[in-house]
Amino acid sequence: MMRLNRYIARCGVASRRDSDSLITAGRVAVNGIVCQKLGTTVAPGIDVVTVDGEMIELPRLLYYKCYKPRGMVTTLDDPQKRSSLADLLKERGIPKGVAPAGRLDADSEGLLVLTNDGDLLQRLTHPGGEVEKVYRVLIDRWPMESDLERLRAGVRCGDFTARALRVTRMGPQPQDNEHPQTGYWVEMAMGEGHKREIREMMGAIKYRVLRLVRTAHGPIRTDTLKPGEIVELEDWEIRSLLGD
């Protein structure tokens, strides 16, 4: 069962607050009967809901994973007209209403979970949810164990303290044509997130981040995804995200 105002909002007709106004104004009917009672619940797929005489239905829920390339901003509306996720979604034919669960800054790359499932988006991005996200971080010098301990214990970054759930060394990166900068990789697992958190943490302990790649968000991983690639999640991935 679902509250009627939430159902109307999920159908994309109006916000929950505006949906309440539609209900009290007598513009909503359930199974042919005008409903003006707030708090009414409906059974999606069973009850027929109309607004101003037009039947509304929940959209099909869509779930994707995307490898955001470096240099692209994670926004669906960029007034500066930079290379953006919106451009990529349009280019790949992804339906409107699909949005990313969180962001990566323009200098970072890697995994974004995309969906039009509003409940899942809220759960994945809620500050208190602490859905684990995993990153590979290329830094400019060998990471001292004492510094890794500081990352695990918590580092003060401006007005907040950030800590890694896990952090381990991965080794050096050999220089190549695609990634000419050499350095040392560490893998960091983070819970509650802040903007540019890992860069702030590394800067606080005097390391420079050369590359930052998100490789996992909860149970979803980049695996063999290439920059700019978007694929639909498999059934087992969706179930694992939803906790089924």
Q: Which two tokens stand for residue 229?
A: 């690639």
SS3 40: coil
127 has pLDDT over 70: no
**Superfamily the domain 2-56 falls into:** RNA-binding S4 domain (3.10.290.10)
**pLDDT > 90: percent of the chain:** 75
By annotation, the residues acting in catalysis are 105
Q: Which residue has the higher pLDDT, 81 or 43?
A: 43
Q: Which two tokens stand for residue 155?
A: 């580092």
Q: Please choose, from the candidates 165, 156, 155, the residue with its C-alpha nearest in 3D space to the C-alpha of residue 133.
A: 165
pLDDT for position 126: 76
Contact by Cβ (8 Å): 171, 162: no
pLDDT for position 180: 63
Burial class (CB in 10 A: 0-12, 13-18, 19+), 59: middle
What residues form DSSP beta bridges with 50?
A: 29, 55
Quick: pLDDT tens for 135-174: 999 999 999 999 999 999 999 998 889 999 999 999 887 6
Domain made up of 60-129+225-244: CATH architecture: 2-Layer Sandwich (3.30)
37 has pLDDT over 80: yes
Q: What is the mean pLDDT of residues 99-120?
A: 93
SS3 110: strand
Q: Which two tokens stand for residue 225?
A: 């995804």
Topology alike, domains 60-129+225-244 and 132-217: yes
Sequence-separated contacts (24+) of 33-41 with Cβ below 8 Å:
35/4, 38/5, 39/3, 39/4, 40/3, 40/4, 41/1, 41/2, 41/3, 41/4
Rounded Cα–Cα distance for residues 56 and 29 (Å): 11
Domain ranges (residues) in the chain? 2-56, 60-129+225-244, 132-217
Q: Does domain 132-217 have CATH number 3.30.70.1560?
A: yes
Q: What is the mean pLDDT of residues 108-132?
A: 86
SS3 68: strand
Q: Please choose, from the candidates 238, 234, 222, the residue with its C-alpha nearest in 3D space to the C-alpha of residue 67.
A: 222
User: What global pTM score does this model have?
Assistant: 0.83
pLDDT for position 88: 96
pLDDT for position 179: 63
